[in-house]
């Protein structure tokens, strides 16, 4: 059984970019439902999973769309929470150097990231990703699509551009949401650790491991 990870900060920590009300709906309802449905679908199929990453990769390969969509959304949201922080720090060191190289400066990245999110038609996500050679790119993905099943680049930060992520706080103004989000919300320390992992130094973020089968039986 996969669990719903707790938010790594208070529900109001990212206000006003993401209000306490949005955070409760988003984490406690949307994210919780993706985790619950993933567990139900796995149980119904009699499957045991070692980790969420393999559930996503296997369901993508087998074209099990419902399982894929729910497992990938469970993953994407947990990554989204981890990739945000109320600390308002700026990128430093090697990550800053890579941002400057790819985008000119942080403002250049903000423009690319905001444009990527605004241009994503419909629901999806906008990501800053790193290739193994340390090159950075902004990519957007549709619906539940993610970088576990797509494999290649390592995600550093992500912003949810589904309407449920911003409608209560910014109504239809996705651009204003993205601009405010970029200035206040990214967890650049987390991004730096993901950047190092992309280049083979340390481990990239993974979804919390499921509760072991033996523990489930005992419970």
Sheet strands (E) in 8-63: none
Residue 169 in contact with Mn ion, rule: CB under 5 A: no
Residue 79 in contact with Mn ion, rule: CB under 5 A: no
Report DSSP state, residue 5. P
Residues binding Mn ion: what is the number (CB under 5 A)? 3
The count of residues in the chain is 219
- With CB under 5 A as the contact rule, the residue among 103, 147, 162, 182 that binds Mn ion is 162
Half-sphere exposure of 86 (CA within 13 A, CB side): 12
- With CB under 5 A as the contact rule, the residue among 146, 160, 169, 179 that binds Mn ion is 160
Cα 132 from Cα 110, distance rounded (Å):
22
Nearest Cα to 79, choosing from 174, 197, 172? 197
Query: Stretches 51-59, 100-108, 138-146, 157-165: which one binds Mn ion (CB under 5 A)?
Result: 157-165
Q: How far is CA 49 from the centre of its chain?
A: 21
Q: Is 152 helix (H, G, I), strand (E, B) or coil?
A: coil
Residue 145 in contact with Mn ion, rule: CB under 5 A: no
Query: Stretches 62-70, 108-116, 156-164, 190-198: which one binds Mn ion (CB under 5 A)?
Result: 156-164
Query: Stretches 47-55, 117-125, 159-167, 199-207: which one binds Mn ion (CB under 5 A)?
Result: 159-167
Of 147 and 162, which has the nearer Cβ to Mn ion? 162
Q: Which residues bind Mn ion (CB under 5 A)?
A: 160, 162, 165
């Amino acid at each position: 059984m996969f669990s719903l990870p707790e938010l790594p900060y208070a529900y109001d920590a990212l206000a006003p970019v993401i209000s306490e009300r949005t955070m409760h709906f988003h984490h406690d309802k949307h994210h919780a439902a993706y985790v619950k449905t993933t567990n139900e679908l796995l149980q119904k199929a009699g499957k045991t999973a070692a980790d969420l990453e393999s559930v996503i990769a296997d369901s993508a390969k087998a074209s099990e769309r419902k399982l894929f969509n729910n497992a990938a959304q469970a993953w994407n949201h947990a990554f989204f929470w981890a990739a945000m922080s109320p600390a308002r720090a700026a990128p430093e060191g090697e990550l800053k150097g890579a941002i400057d190289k790819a985008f000119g400066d942080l403002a250049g990245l903000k423009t690319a990231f905001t444009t990527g999110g605004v241009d994503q038609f419909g629901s999806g996500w906008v990501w800053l990703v790193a290739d193994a050679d340390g090159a950075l790119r902004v990519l957007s993905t549709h619906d539940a699509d993610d970088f576990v099943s797509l494999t290649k680049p390592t995600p550093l930060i992500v912003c949810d551009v589904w309407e449920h992520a911003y409608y209560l706080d910014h109504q239809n103004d996705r651009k204003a949401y993205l601009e405010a989000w970029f200035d206040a919300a990214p967890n650049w320390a987390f991004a730096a650790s993901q950047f190092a992992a992309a280049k083979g130094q340390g481990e990239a973020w993974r979804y919390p491991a499921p509760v072991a089968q033996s523990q489930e039986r005992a419970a």
